[in-house]
Amino acid sequence: MIYYIVFILIGIGLYGIVSQKNLFKQLVSLTIIDTAVNIFIVSLGYLQGGEAPIYSAVTPLANFVDPLPQALVLTAIVIGVGTLAVASMLLVHIHEEYSSVDAEEIRAAKEVIE
């Protein structure tokens, strides 16, 4: 079931990137794909009935959830937020320069300038 959600989210993101001319909407679509990939990686490490890998005398060793995918996704989330912030800053500068974030309008404005 979770894999269907991941594929649907990736499809929505790809559709948004291909169909939208607005750069901000393309950035949001890219973020949707990033989220789908993170969900996929976390689902790979999921163990039905598993417990957090905290060692103690009470917890059995064989029933731990693999913490590596969760750590990787946590790192990916931090990198994704940083990338989103930088891309948003670039979009603000593009909007200040061309008074638009539409790719075709920017392309037309660049042709007029050149």
> Could you tell me the pTM of the whole model?
0.81
Q: What is the overall mean pLDDT for the chain? A: 89
Q: Quick one: pLDDT at residue 40?
A: 94
Tell me the C-alpha distance between 64 and 73, whole Å. Answer: 18
Q: Per residue in 39-49, pLDDT tens?
A: 999 998 888 88
Q: What pLDDT score does 46 carry?
A: 81
Q: Which amino acid is at 69?
A: P
Contact 59, 31 (CB under 8 A): no
Torsion of CA 19, 20, 26, 32, to 10 degrees: -50
Q: How large is the average pLDDT for residues 60-64?
A: 73
Query: Is residue 67 scored above 90 in pLDDT?
Result: no
**55 vs 6, residue with greater confidence:** 6
Residue 87: is its pLDDT beyond 90? yes
Residue 60: what pLDDT? 67
